[in-house]
Structures are given as C-alpha cells and as structure tokens.
Amino acid sequence: MKSAEIEEQGQHTLSEIFSQPQCWSECLAQMAVGAELRAAIQLAQRGAERRGPEWIFVGCGTSYYLAQAAAASFNYLKLPARAVPASELLLYPTLTLHAGGDYVPVVISRSGLTSEAVRAAQILEKDHNLRTIAITCADGQPLEAACSVTLKLLDADERSTVMTRSFTSMLLGLQYLAAIFSGDNTFRRALVELAQQVEPLMKDIPQRLRLFTESRSFSDFVFLAQGPLFSIASECMLKVTESSCSYAQVFHSLEFRHGPKSIAGPETLITFLMSKSSYDAELELLEEMNALGAATMVIANRVEGRAQRAASFAIELGLQSPEYVQPAAFVIWGQLYGVYYGLKKGLNPDSPKNLTRVVELADGR
C-alpha cells in the first residue's frame, strides 16, 4: 500500500488527536457559562445536604476508563467516588448500590446512544429513584432523555470510530465539575491552563514518536502506571488494541513483577506512565525491565538521567500543573502510538476491524 494511501486512512483520527488542546479550551469555556453545570451542581448539593453523596461514574469501554480517571480526581478533591462498568450495574446492582446510600450517578457516553449506558440510567432513575447526570458529546439522544441533567460537550465529538478528544474533553469536564463542587479554585484554574501547556508539545513529539514507531516492530504491548494514571494506561492499552489490532495489556506498575514480567524481552514494548508520587518506585522497575532486554517507552512530566538511559524512547511533558490535573496530557501519546502503529501495519485507524462508533443492542439483550 502506498504511503499516501496509508496517510489518507488515518487522517480523521490524527486530526482529532491534534485538535485536543483547542478542543479542551472551547469545551471548558462553554461549560463554565452553561446552565447545565449549575444544574449538575444543584443536583449533587441536594445529596450533600443530607450526608454527603458518593459519586458513581458509569461507562462502557473507553467511557469506563474515563469513569475511573474521573473518580480518581474526585477522590483527590475529597469527594468520595468510584467507577462501575454499566454492565456490572445492570447485572449485579446490589454490588454497586447499597440500601440507604446517597449517590450521585454520572453516566458517560460519547454518542448518548450506548445501549448499556442508557439502560443503566433508566434503571437508576426509575428503579432506584436516583437523579442522574449524563455527560455526552451529542445532542438530543436517549441518554439525555433518561437522565435528570446532561452536560454536553458537542465540540468534542469525532468522525472516527475510536474515542480520542471526546475522552480527554469529557475527563476535563468532569474534573472541572469536581473543582467547582469542591470549591477548589486552584485545581479549576490549572485545568483551564492545561491546554496552553500541552499545545507546544504537539509540534515536536509526534514526529519523534512516529519515527520510533516505524523503527521497531513488537508482538506484545504493555502499559504500566499507578494511581491517577492507571486508568490512562488502560485507555492507552485500548487505543493500541483498537487502532492497530495489536495485543496489548495493562497492569499496575509494581504488579508487573508478580508474574507478568515473564513476557519482558526484545519483542515486548513496555510503556511506563510515570507520575510524580510513584516516580522513584517505577524508575527501579524501568531499570529492571531494561536489564531484562525489554524495549521501554517512558511518558513522564520529568524524565531525569537514569530514566533517559533506561528508556528506548522518552516523552517529557514539562507541565506546570498539579499531578492530578495532568492525566489528559498523558493519554495523547498512547492515542498517537496506536494510530502510527496501525498505519505501519497498513490498517485504517479511522475505521478499525470489527468496531462501530456506537454499541447498540437489540431490545431485551
């Protein structure tokens, strides 16, 4: 296949990935002045007046990893939260909802059409008498009809099958909701400023990453992270799987020693998403994997000398924002790697094999 044809295949996904900083700014600016944000705050405050609610984030696939990332930020801001796959809520509701509990459910779906997400919202509202918040990138869809309040980030929607800017934009939107609800203006300002810090990174790193991608082929991909970046590593894993039809796995970094490291070797690319709090412990693991002969990629806000020497490829972000504000900036490089590796294999990342933009199930399934 000619290189020009390959480039044409990935144009929508690449354009959407590169548009993220601008999209973030537009979405947060619109969200800040929207009536929907105020309505969501008021809905949650009704629970806070009683005992203080637990936030339950519900999603499927990428939206579930988004739910995990959002829950991490809410917990950091002292707002109890957890993430639940929509299927678990549908099949095992008693493992999620407990009698007498105060909950603020947030249901996540880019399209607002995902069958399991819509059904979960309906059950939460009707069967459990819980007022729900939806976050979506579409207007007037069934999820909006099922929920009490809907946060809509319409500019973040994509033409491509896989979620890229919709993931990061909805994550920042939920983090913004947490900042407003908790009254943490420092966190809120840092979220708004993130786009201008990330924009310069889009000029140099992508070309270096593409050259690295084209220089090496791998049979296994592993993504490792701890704390607020574990959900981001999970999403990077999914992007490589979706966009390049490759086998990829994700583990908590220090869990990799407990069995999974048996796959470490020249045919395995191990990507470390290293956060500030766990950097030293993850650095030791990075050096250990390098000694075992594995190829390694490091994504970190700061990459000092030891990490540079142990990494086959390193991305240093150099952000000025707090650790829990940064996750959206980390996922970009997993998104790009997945697209570049898919193009390397002659695939079309805009329309991956066996996938559709929306998972809609027949009635009763």
pLDDT value of residue 34: 93
Which range marks the domain in which residue 327 is found? 200-344
In terms of domains, do 161 and 218 share one? no
The sign of the CA dihedral 212, 217, 221, 224 is: negative
In terms of domains, do 187 and 248 share one? no
pLDDT 10s digits, 164-219: 999 999 999 999 999 999 999 999 999 999 999 999 999 999 999 999 999 999 99
In terms of domains, do 167 and 114 share one? yes
The angle formed by the CA atoms of residues 192, 227 and 48, to the nearest 5 degrees, is 65
In terms of domains, do 211 and 141 share one? no
Is the pLDDT reported for residue 45 higher than 80? yes
In terms of domains, do 174 and 316 share one? no
In terms of domains, do 174 and 224 share one? no
In terms of domains, do 34 and 174 share one? yes
In terms of domains, do 212 and 304 share one? yes
Number of domains in the chain: 2
For the domain that residue 261 is a member of, what is the CATH number?
A: 3.40.50.10490
In terms of domains, do 156 and 232 share one? no
- Comparing CA positions, the residue from 288, 285, 311 lying closest to residue 299 is 311
pLDDT grade, residue 46 (50/70/90)? confident
- Comparing CA positions, the residue from 150, 151, 162 lying closest to residue 240 is 162
In terms of domains, do 135 and 269 share one? no
pLDDT 10s digits, 269-324: 999 999 999 999 999 999 999 999 999 999 999 999 999 999 999 999 999 999 99
| 105 lies in some domain | yes
Q: Which residues of 255-269 are buried (b: 16+ CB within 10 A; e: fewer)?
A: ebeeeebebbbeebb
Domain boundary residue among 143, 168, 195?
195
Domain boundary residue among 143, 162, 195?
195
pLDDT grade, residue 47 (50/70/90)? low
Q: Which helix (H) or strand (E) holds 111?
A: none
Rounded to an integer, what distance in angstroms lies between the CA atom of residue 271 and that of residue 338? Answer: 12
In terms of domains, do 89 and 233 share one? no
Describe the chain by its helix, strand, coil percentages, rounded to 5.
Answer: 55, 15, 30
Give mean pLDDT, residues 78-95.
96
Q: What is the pairing mode between strands 268-274 and 295-300?
A: parallel
Domain boundary residue among 195, 229, 255?
195
In terms of domains, do 101 and 116 share one? yes
Is the pLDDT reported for residue 38 higher than 60? yes
pTM of structure: 0.94
